[in-house]
Amino acid sequence: MAHLLLKGRYRARLAQSQNDLAMAQRLRTLAFGTEQTDQDQFDPVCAHILIEDMREGGQIVCCFRMLTMEDGSEIGQSYSAQFYDLSALEGFQGRMVEMGRFCIHPDWTDPDILRVAWGAMTTYVDQNGVEMLFGCSSFAGTETKEYLDAFAMLKHRHLAPKRWLPRVKAPDVFRFAARLRRRPDVKKAMMRMPPLLRTYLMMGGWVSDHAVVDRHMNTLHVFTGLEIGAIPPARKRLLRAVAG
């Protein structure tokens, strides 16, 4: 089904053509500030979700992509597996989806866009029987200093369960769980936490114990996982209300 969700002025739908994919790639290039068009070998094998502002003639204001796998045995083929040793997740039995390249148009700041994105994602997860959502959650820039409270909070409250914990693979990482001794300032931590990651955490998501320094994308990112069965019932109802 191409149409996933219509909420207020925004419509979420699956990309249907090469032109749709090109529009998503243009938005990604703008949002990530890359010099060359943001595209890679994962684009052809992913489903791409576009969110349009219907009051602005269908302008694409947000996009992300989903790579579906039958179970953990396929996780080595994911985008994230380039940066993290995910062998612990190879034993995951259910269907998984990697969410990636999430971005919102820099000229649009309406918080409803993120809500619609999660509503569309909920619809996709429900329609496809997905049991785990995962991906890389990015902090802007490659300097860790301004994010120390956020990383301290991830260490104290949100580390992956040991059975799923990703191991280090990338050459340049910040091992925040091992290095940080500070107690987080909760207010500062939440202010510096990327909105997408904040939403994952509110639903019971967890992260790797280290961040990858990605100089190509000019980001720091943490591997993020969310087991659908672990989402609190009240939060599930809220997501399904948006999706409905």
Q: According to the CATH classification, is domain 3-243 in 3.40.630.30?
A: yes
Contact 66, 97 (CB under 8 A): yes
Which tokens sit at 228? 């659908």
pLDDT tens-digit profile of 112-125? 999 999 999 988 99
Signed CA dihedral, 50, 32, 221, 42: sign only: positive
Tell me what the mean pLDDT of segment 174-180 comes to.
Answer: 97
> Which range among 1-15, 79-93, 129-143 shows the weakest confidence by mean pLDDT?
1-15
Residue showing tokens 């995962």: 134
Contact 229, 96 (CB under 8 A): no
Residue 88, CB half-sphere, CA atoms under 13 Å: how many?
15
pLDDT at 134 over 50: yes
Tell me what the mean pLDDT of segment 213-239 comes to.
Answer: 91
**Could you tell me the CA-to-CA distances from 121 to 6, 43, 102, 116, 128 in Å, in that order?**
13, 18, 11, 8, 11
**pTM score, whole prediction:** 0.94
Going by C-alpha positions, the residue among 61, 68, 56, 66 that lies closest to residue 12 is 61
Secondary structure in 3-state letters for 177-204? HHHCCCCCCHHHHHHHCCHHHHHHHHCC
Confidence of residue 241 (pLDDT cuts 50, 70, 90): confident
Tell me what the mean pLDDT of segment 208-234 comes to.
Answer: 94
Residue showing tokens 């490659």: 142
